[in-house]
Amino acid sequence: MFSKSKLAILLSRLKDFERPNVKLEQYSTPSEIAAEVVYRAAELGDIKGKSILDPACGPGFLGIAALLLGAKKVNFLDASKEAIALCRENVRSISKEYNIGKAEFTLSRIQDFSGKYDVVVQNPPFGTKIRHHDRDFLIKAFETASVVYSFHKVESRDFLYRISADNNFRITHAWLFDFALPASQKFHKRRIHRIRVGCWRFKK
């Protein structure tokens, strides 16, 4: 298995959004954070040999990390054609160097998707542009797999405990991070904006 630092280096070399869509809240999981979460998931037995869904995949950092750590299959799901094209390019680049599992690509809104997987690993929109969008992703994740890893703002903690209990899931782990989001729009005043984010592991 790759070391966590090697995994982070490989992810950092992949292509990222050049012009993120503000309405879709397109921001990538920082490579070091993506590597750490997927590495921890692998240590918990949730990656190797598993079928995994990566909703709102963007450039595909989470799903690609899962493939590199031995996932049997990853379905990269996004509502953006540009994101799917970028993700395909990144998977193609990695597959030239490493023997990885099967990669599938699905262009779909989260509400329209259906399927069953072992694990969901997602960094969904936080719901700041489309109200309750984060909730839509969590509900679909709970319908899709018995183990879910999901990124949310730390302020959503109470909501996460409520929604998990309402759907017969329990939170087993939580990891907190500082997301460094680089300025990507003209109206952004700071070169880098930092927000406090957590990744929660839910189990049915």
The answer to whether 74 touches 47, Cβ cutoff 8 Å, is: no
Q: Over the Cα atoms of the chain, what is R_g?
A: 16
Strand partners, 153: 197
Output DSSP code: residue 168.
T
Asked if pLDDT for residue 131 goes beyond 70, the answer is no
Mean pLDDT in residue range 172-185: 78
pLDDT band, very low/low/confident/very high, at 106 (cuts 50, 70, 90)? very high
More confident residue, 18 or 20: 18
Cα distance between residue 169 and residue 171, in whole Å: 7
Backbone angles phi, psi at 42, to 5 degrees: -65, -40
In one-letter notation, the amino acid at residue 78 is D
Q: Where are the beta strands (DSSP E) in the chain?
A: 51-55, 73-78, 102-107, 119-122, 147-153, 170-182, 192-203
Output DSSP code: residue 29.
P
State whether CATH 1.10.10.10 applies to domain 4-203. Answer: no
pTM of the model: 0.91
pLDDT band, very low/low/confident/very high, at 184 (cuts 50, 70, 90)? very low
pLDDT of residue 1: 72
pLDDT of residue 142: 98
Q: Where are the beta strands (DSSP E) in 39-169?
A: 51-55, 73-78, 102-107, 119-122, 147-153
Residue ranges per structural domain of the chain: 4-203
pLDDT in tens, 48-81: 999 999 999 999 999 999 999 999 999 999 999 9
The answer to whether 34 touches 12, Cβ cutoff 8 Å, is: no
Tokens matching residue 88: 């395909």
How do strand 73-78 and strand 102-107 relate by DSSP bridges? parallel
